[in-house]
């Protein structure tokens, strides 16, 4: 554990700079703070204690990598990121194997928004020291920021293996899990992050959002209050709390929080759109009209309805017409514009989710997830979200959600179809088979269901049941639709029949 007065190291000649580098490398195994700036300030404290001892021997430090690193740290701590980058690069020219300099170079480059270079620097730091959590966490956060979630996750997971309490990795991975629709795991990760003594307000906001998605309103509200104690002007916390208050019908509290958010971020259209929505819901037509003018909305068009007479969409007739255009590209552009004016409109989010389902499953999952979060009782949104989860191969979460939908709506055909697929992929064959049977009862000509029933029995070793289902499939299959499955079955049948003759397979109890 670091103390307030780290041990002093005195340099007697230029060769001692190598000792300093080795001593610095030991810091990676200690409980250092996760933020680059905190690390910079610590290193400044450490290096300042050695400055007098090395000045006379090292001159201006132009040929010493540690001295150059120290100068980079000084510039970094003062927000002079370009100067810091120059010093770090000079240090690395003299000593390429200097992971601390690589890491700090990456951090400074992130501050300059030079993200590809930052990514390379973090990767070099990892190559040079694979047991240090900070570059893994920082690289993961950078990739997540660049919306490269699948690439980010392994680095974040590795950071947590090396340092289970790494705050940056916990926060970032929690956010990724939440955006992917896994609120339970997001909440677990965020809770671990909030246990860290230096957890910022943003960590409490993520925790609140995940708990709210799980239906734990009291826990979510407590977390938002905590976030705003730490940072009273945190816009995300203010808006999330305003949404909770709106859902509870406490419009006065919601308006107060949205006004505070707008004060912290003046003239932000997203915040003003939320405020407009709350004014409308509360019946404050005067303030709604004022904001409509600010947002460039026509009063006569404020209550234009899209495809449902029960769901009101703020927008012009032209925008709403374009949102229903059969051309997906035109419809998406219009829907995204309408979403800017109606940020909490679940129907618009679901339409975007449906639009992206086949060609961009990740975006489909995101939009459907947000729609389902806003209106969890809407079976269409839940099924759409579940279908996106199935396409993203997140079968366990899809199965959990679909079981709830079917409990509420037993005759929901798309829910049963997706549930059958999710259970089959999870190898929960005894549960999957009844779902396929249900689908056949609803649509007897769905011959491919027999194929999945047969293969499920086959995988469980129930060979006689598998044979019966395979034969049913062959009798009813449509060659133009199921040619591949037909060929697979024809290849399987001879060996299956031999196995049955030999008495193999699980037998049904009499």
DSSP state of 7: P
Instruction: Please say whether the beta carbons of 485 and 477 come within 8 A.
Output: yes
First-residue to last-residue Cα distance in the chain: 67
- Tens of pLDDT, residue by residue over 461-506, are 999 999 999 999 988 888 877 888 889 989 999 998 999 888 887 7
Query: Residue 218: inside a domain, yes or no?
Result: no
**Domains contained in the chain, number:** 2
List the CATH number of the domain containing 82: 1.25.40.10
> What is the distance between the alpha carbons of residues 340 and 317, in angstroms, rounded to a whole number?
16
Domain assignment present for residue 397? The answer is no
180, part of any domain: no
For the chain, the maximum distance between any two Cα atoms, rounded to a whole number of angstroms, is 94
pLDDT of residue 122: 94
Residues 6+ apart with CB under 8 A from 395: 389, 421, 422, 423, 425, 426
- Beta carbons of 316 and 289 less than 8 angstroms apart: no
Q: Does residue 407 fall inside a structural domain?
A: no
- Tell me the mean pLDDT in the region 106-129: 92
474 assigned to some structural domain: no
Residue where a domain terminates, one of 107, 129, 151:
129
Enter the tokens of residue 261.
Answer: 């958010």
Write down which residue in 337, 362, 383 finishes a domain: 337
Range of the domain at 328: 302-337
pLDDT per residue as tens digits for the range 257-297: 999 998 988 887 778 877 877 887 777 777 777 777 776 65
pLDDT digits (tens, 9 = 90+) for 192-239: 999 988 889 988 988 988 888 787 888 888 999 999 999 999 988 898
Residue-wise pLDDT tens digits, 5-39: 322 222 333 333 333 333 343 333 333 333 333 34
| Residue among 409, 401, 470, 385 nearest 179 (CA) | 385
- At which of 102, 129, 156 does a domain end? 129
Burial of 79 from C-beta contacts in 10 A (0-12 / 13-18 / 19+): exposed
If you write DSSP's letter for every residue of 261-322 in order, what string do you get? HHHHSTT-HHHHHHHHHHHHHHT-HHHHHHHHHHTT--GGGTT-B-S-TTSB--S-HHHHHH
Q: Output the pLDDT for position 27.
A: 35
The neighbouring-strand residues paired with 312 are 305
Q: Is residue 462 part of a domain?
A: no
Domain assignment present for 32: yes
| Residue with token string 């700090």 | 104
Contact criterion met (CB below 8 Å) for 368 and 388: yes
Please tell me whether residue 3 adopts helix, strand or coil conformation. Answer: coil
Residue 280's Cβ-side half-sphere holds a number of Cα atoms within 13 Å equal to: 16
Rounded Cα gap, residues 152 and 139, in angstroms: 7
Given a contact cutoff of 8 angstroms between Cβ atoms, the answer to whether 201 and 67 are in contact is no
Can you tell me whether residue 74 is helix, strand or coil?
A: helix
Is 323 within a domain? yes
**pTM for the predicted model, two decimal places:** 0.51
Task: Return the CA Rg of the chain.
Answer: 30
């Amino acid at each position: 554990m670091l103390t307030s007065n780290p041990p002093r190291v005195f340099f007697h000649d230029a060769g001692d700079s190598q000792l300093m580098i080795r001593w610095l490398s030991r810091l990676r195994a200690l409980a250092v703070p996760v933020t680059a700036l905190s690390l910079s300030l610590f290193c400044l404290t450490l290096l300042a204690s050695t400055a007098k001892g090395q000045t006379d021997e090292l001159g201006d430090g132009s040929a010493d990598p540690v001295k150059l690193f120290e100068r980079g740290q000084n510039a970094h701590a003062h927000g002079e990121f370009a100067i810091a980058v120059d010093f770090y690069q000079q240090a690395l020219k003299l000593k390429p194997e200097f992971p601390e300099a690589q890491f700090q170079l990456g951090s400074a480059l992130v501050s300059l928004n030079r993200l590809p270079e930052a990514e390379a620097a973090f990767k070099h730091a990892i190559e040079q020291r694979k047991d240090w959590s900070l570059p893994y966490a920082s690289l993961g956060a950078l990739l997540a920021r660049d919306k490269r979630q699948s690439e980010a996750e392994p680095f974040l997971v590795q950071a947590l293996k090396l340092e289970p309490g790494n705050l940056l990795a916990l926060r970032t991975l929690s956010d990724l899990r939440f955006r992917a629709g896994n609120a339970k795991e997001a909440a677990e990760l965020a809770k671990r992050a909030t246990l860290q003594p230096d957890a910022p307000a943003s960590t409490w906001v993520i925790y609140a959002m995940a708990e709210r998605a799980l239906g734990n309103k009291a826990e979510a509200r407590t977390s938002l209050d905590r976030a705003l104690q730490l940072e009273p002007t945190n816009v995300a916390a203010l808006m999330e709390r305003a949404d909770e208050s709106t859902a509870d019908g406490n419009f006065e509290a919601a308006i107060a929080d949205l006004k505070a958010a707008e004060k912290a971020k003046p003239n932000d259209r997203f915040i003003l759109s939320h405020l407009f929505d709350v004014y409308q819901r509360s019946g404050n037509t005067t303030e709604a009209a004022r904001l409509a003018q600010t947002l460039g909305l026509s009063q006569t068009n404020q209550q234009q309805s899209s495809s449902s007479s029960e769901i009101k969409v703020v927008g012009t007739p032209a925008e709403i017409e374009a949102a229903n255009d059969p051309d997906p590209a035109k419809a998406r552009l219009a829907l995204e514009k309408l979403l800017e004016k109606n940020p909490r409109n679940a129907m618009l989010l679901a339409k975007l989710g449906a639009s992206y389902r086949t060609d961009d499953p990740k975006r489909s999952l995101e939009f459907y997830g947000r729609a389902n979060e806003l209106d969890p009782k809407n079976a269409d949104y839940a099924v759409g979200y579940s279908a996106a989860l199935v396409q993203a191969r997140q079968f366990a979460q899809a199965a959990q959600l679909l079981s709830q939908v079917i409990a509420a709506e037993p005759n929901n055909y798309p829910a049963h179809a997706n549930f059958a697929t999710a259970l089959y992929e999870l190898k929960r064959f005894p549960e999957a088979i009844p779902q396929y049977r249900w689908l056949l009862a609803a649509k007897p000509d769905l011959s491919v269901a027999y194929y999945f029933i047969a293969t499920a029995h086959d995988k469980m070793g129930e060979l006689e049941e598998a044979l019966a289902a395979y034969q049913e499939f062959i009798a009813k299959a449509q060659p133009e639709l199921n040619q591949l499955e037909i060929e697979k079955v024809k290849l399987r049948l001879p060996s299956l029949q031999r196995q049955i003759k030999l008495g193999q397979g699980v037998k049904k109890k009499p």
